[in-house]
């Protein structure tokens, strides 16, 4: 165990200084920051009871403490750096402080965590501040191998950091101890919020989570979170493990303090109540249709009031699936939360400017956030439709198993296209929840076309974007989308509905038959950037990549 103490010490002594990397100057930093458009996030609190209003204030306070914890988790020197930056009133100092806050540290998260402040490592340490400085995977493994079984579990667990003890030995320290001051404060605030709210499910989540912060056992409160159904929808605690790039074990603190969106929740209930009918009318050979569509994992539509910690670092989440604890997922499943006002902000600040260039200013007038968001909801719901249990050569199987590494791209495209088919079907039925007509159709397909460019912009190595390129190219080939002589894209409204149904039939049939070769051929031919797509995307360089949330006072 003592063998690797020396290199650790050396690493600490010979830190930066000598070959300090160049860091961005004021102009460069402003350019980096401008990739995120500052946007005020609004959510109406009018319908909240007096008790819930008091609870909300306490929860925002708790979420701000989450910021403090996450700063410490990312880098031991973060609190000191932040204090220094707050004293620096020069333009460069102010720019650095703003970007530091957006990234919750001195490394730019969308630039592979490259340093933008002097005097810090050139890149974020892989293990962040969850392990001793300079700690390696091999050191972890050889240390873990000697641990007794219960300790081994904690070493790989979400809620224990690894620290050097006084004897320079390695120790496991639970979060409740490592962040004792912050977690004690958060626990007290959650209890106060629990006392104030009149909603039983919220009360239960807050009381159990307040205990979890001090006991490092989140099981009961994760279960309570799954059952949470209240005007205030809050997610707060240690969740994702992305910031532990060394081993992927340690959970970062994040908070989303949100309000349930009742109008959208009703629309969602309407869509899910028609699942079987939608399945029965899919453009798919009836023998492949599912006679008994299963229950959908719970979905919530909310508006964000405050996000803290990793939940407000770099690119903003517009939706998340939690919890990650496999025990809870096995017993209760997981829940998907969609942040509607974050989606709206992204729509306004990134999708609208993209659309004005790729489909032209005239057509961009048909863009509609309502259509955009309804389609996102339909996408989620239609993941539950179509083939899931299939038979290939007499053997029971699933599309995921048969289509292997292609499944992600194909299933995302299927959900997009089936979402359009489902919405068109309900619009044609004249459902009052989903009014149809020529104008509604123009908005739906125009918004879908424009939004595809926002997805494609991030490169087609990612499953969703590859599936999106396949859709755009296929719909161009079927005449539903057209490329105009000036390079802009448009919708042919006489052909788009048939084109979408035809593409949906192809995708659903590939899944129903588990046709790996067919899926491969389709993705190879269509899941790429053709020259005209490439040209359209090249003109988008200066459009913001994302938003910087500004929370109302
Ligand atoms: Zn999806």
Q: Round to whole Å and give the CA distance between 262 and 256.
A: 18
- Report whether pLDDT(14) > 80: no
- Report whether pLDDT(553) > 90: no
- Supply the pLDDT for residue 54: 98
Q: Where are the alpha helices (H) located in 156-282, listed in sequence order?
A: 175-178, 180-196, 200-215, 219-226, 262-273, 275-280
Please tell me the distance between residue 464's alpha carbon and the centre of ligand 1 in angstroms: 8
Strands (E), 335-473: 335-339, 390-392, 395-397
Under 8 Å between Cβ of 61 and 114 = no
- Supply the pLDDT for residue 391: 94
Give the Å distances, CA to CA, from 19 to 16, 22, 29, 118, 460: 7, 9, 21, 11, 36
Closest CA relative to residue 322, chosen from 398, 251, 382, 266: 251
- Report whether pLDDT(16) > 80: no
- Supply the pLDDT for residue 311: 96
- Supply the pLDDT for residue 22: 84
* Arithmetic mean of pLDDT, 72-99: 98
- Report whether pLDDT(180) > 60: yes
State phi, psi for 307 to the nearest 5 degrees. Answer: -125, 140
Q: Round to whole Å and give the CA distance between 307 and 315.
A: 12
* Arithmetic mean of pLDDT, 222-236: 97
Q: Round to whole Å and give the CA distance between 505 and 494.
A: 19
Q: Which of 113-122, 200-209, 318-327, 345-354 has the lowest mean pLDDT?
A: 318-327
Assign 76 to helix, strand or coil: coil
Q: Which of 54-58, 195-199, 318-322 has the lowest mean pLDDT?
A: 318-322
pLDDT in tens, 416-465: 999 999 999 999 999 888 999 999 999 999 999 999 999 898 777 778 88
Give the Å distances, CA to CA, from 242 to 4, 36, 248, 342, 499: 26, 21, 6, 21, 39
Q: Round to whole Å and give the CA distance between 315 and 75.
A: 19
Confidence band of 21 (pLDDT split at 50, 70, 90): low
pLDDT in tens, 502-543: 999 999 999 999 999 999 999 999 999 999 999 999 989 899
The CA dihedral of 65, 67, 69, 74, to the nearest 10 degrees, is 180
Q: What average pLDDT is seen over the chain?
A: 93
Please tell me the distance between residue 380's alpha carbon and the centre of ligand 1 in angstroms: 6
pLDDT in tens, 166-177: 888 999 999 999
Please tell me the distance between residue 376's alpha carbon and the centre of ligand 1 in angstroms: 9
- Supply the pLDDT for residue 459: 76
pLDDT in tens, 374-413: 999 999 999 999 999 999 999 999 999 999 999 999 999 9
Q: Round to whole Å and give the CA distance between 402 and 404.
A: 6
Please tell me the distance between residue 123's alpha carbon and the centre of ligand 1 in angstroms: 32
Continuous segment of H or E residues that includes residue 531: helix 531-538
Closest CA relative to residue 57, chosen from 261, 305, 312: 305
Continuous segment of H or E residues that includes residue 299: strand 299-309
Under 8 Å between Cβ of 305 and 66 = no
Query: Three-state SS across 194-225?
Result: HHHCCCHHHHHHHHHHHHHHHHCCCHHHHHHH
Please tell me the distance between residue 495's alpha carbon and the centre of ligand 1 in angstroms: 26
Query: Which of 257-271, 276-290, 320-334 has the highest average model confidence (pLDDT)?
Result: 276-290
Please tell me the distance between residue 462's alpha carbon and the centre of ligand 1 in angstroms: 12
pLDDT in tens, 117-134: 999 999 999 999 999 999
Q: Is the peptide bond before 323 cis (omega within 30 degrees of 0)?
A: yes
Assign 455 to helix, strand or coil: helix
Token pair listed for 496: 């788009």
Assign 274 to helix, strand or coil: coil
- Supply the pLDDT for residue 479: 98
Please tell me the distance between residue 2's alpha carbon and the centre of ligand 1 in angstroms: 48
Assign 412 to helix, strand or coil: helix
* Arithmetic mean of pLDDT, 348-372: 95
Q: Round to whole Å and give the CA distance between 467 and 291.
A: 27
Other C-beta atoms lying within 10 Å of the C-beta of residue 393: 6
Q: Find where tokens 């750096």 sit.
A: 81
Q: Round to whole Å and give the CA distance between 115 and 118.
A: 8
Cβ-based neighbours of 506, under 8 Å, separated by 6 or more:
474, 522
* Arithmetic mean of pLDDT, 248-262: 96
Please tell me the distance between residue 379's alpha carbon and the centre of ligand 1 in angstroms: 6
Count CA atoms within 13 Å of residue 480 on its CB side.
22
- Report whether pLDDT(7) > 80: no
Please tell me the distance between residue 415's alpha carbon and the centre of ligand 1 in angstroms: 6
- Supply the pLDDT for residue 20: 55
What burial class does residue 450 get, using C-beta atoms within 10 Å of its C-beta: 0-12 exposed, 13-18 middle, 19+ buried?
Answer: buried
Token pair listed for 234: 């809050």
* Arithmetic mean of pLDDT, 299-303: 95
Please tell me the distance between residue 499's alpha carbon and the centre of ligand 1 in angstroms: 21
Token pair listed for 9: 């010490």
- Supply the pLDDT for residue 3: 31
Please tell me the distance between residue 170's alpha carbon and the centre of ligand 1 in angstroms: 42
């Amino acid at each position: 165990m003592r063998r690797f103490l020396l290199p650790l010490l050396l690493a600490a002594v010979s830190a930066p200084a000598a070959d300090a990397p160049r860091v961005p100057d004021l102009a460069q930093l402003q350019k980096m920051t401008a990739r995120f458009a500052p946007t005020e996030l609004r959510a109406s609190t009018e319908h909240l009871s007096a008790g819930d209003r008091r609870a909300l204030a306490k929860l925002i306070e708790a979420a701000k403490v989450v910021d403090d914890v996450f700063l410490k988790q990312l880098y031991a020197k973060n609190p000191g750096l932040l204090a220094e930056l707050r004293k620096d009133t020069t333009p460069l100092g102010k720019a650095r402080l703003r970007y530091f806050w957006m990234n919750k540290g001195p490394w730019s998260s969308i630039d592979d965590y490259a340093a933008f402040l002097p005097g810090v490592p050139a890149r974020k340490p892989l293990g962040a501040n969850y392990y001793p400085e300079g700690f390696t995977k091999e050191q972890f493994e050889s240390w873990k191998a000697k641990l007794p079984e219960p300790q081994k579990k904690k070493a790989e667990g979400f809620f224990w950091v690894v620290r050097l003890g006084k004897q320079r030995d390695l120790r496991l320290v639970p979060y409740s101890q490592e962040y004792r001051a912050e977690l004690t404060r958060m626990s007290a605030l959650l209890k106060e919020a629990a006392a104030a709210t009149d909603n039983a499910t919220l009360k239960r989540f807050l009381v159990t989570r307040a205990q979890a912060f001090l006991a490092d056992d989140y099981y009961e409160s994760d279960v309570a979170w799954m059952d949470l159904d209240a005007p205030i929808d809050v997610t707060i605690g240690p969740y994702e493990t992305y910031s532990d790039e060394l081993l992927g074990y340690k959970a970062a603190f994040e908070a989303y303090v949100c309000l349930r969106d009742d109008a959208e929740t009703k629309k969602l209930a309407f869509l899910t109540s028609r699942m079987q009918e939608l399945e029965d009318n899919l453009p798919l050979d009836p023998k492949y249709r599912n006679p008994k569509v299963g229950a959908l994992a719970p979905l919530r539509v909310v508006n964000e009031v405050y996000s803290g910690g990793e939940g407000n670092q770099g690119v903003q989440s517009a939706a998340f699936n939690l919890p990650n604890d496999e025990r809870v997922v096995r017993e209760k499943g997981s829940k998907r939360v969609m942040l509607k006002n974050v989606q709206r902000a992204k729509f306004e600040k990134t999708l609208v400017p993209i659309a004005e260039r790729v489909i032209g200013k005239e057509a961009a007038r048909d863009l509609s956030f309502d259509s955009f968001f309804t389609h996102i909801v339909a996408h989620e719901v239609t993941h539950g439709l179509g083939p899931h249990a299939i038979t290939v050569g007499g053997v029971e199987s699933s599309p995921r198993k048969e289509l292997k590494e292609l499944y992600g791209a194909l299933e995302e495209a299927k959900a997009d296209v089936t979402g359009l088919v489902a919405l068109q079907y309900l619009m044609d039925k004249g459902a009052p929840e989903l009014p149809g007509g020529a104008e509604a159709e123009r908005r739906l397909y125009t918004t879908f076309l424009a939004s595809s460019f926002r997805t494609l912009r991030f490169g087609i190595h990612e499953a969703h974007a590859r599936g999106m390129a396949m859709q755009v190219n296929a719909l161009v080939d079927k005449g539903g989308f057209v490329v105009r002589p000036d390079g802009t894209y448009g919708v042919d409204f006489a052909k788009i509905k048939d084109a979408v149904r035809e593409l949906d039939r192809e995708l659903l049939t590939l899944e129903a038959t588990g046709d790996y070769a067919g899926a491969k051929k389709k993705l190879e031919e269509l899941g790429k950037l053709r020259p005209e797509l490439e040209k359209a995307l090249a003109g988008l360089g200066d459009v913001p990549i994302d938003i910087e949330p500004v929370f109302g006072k």
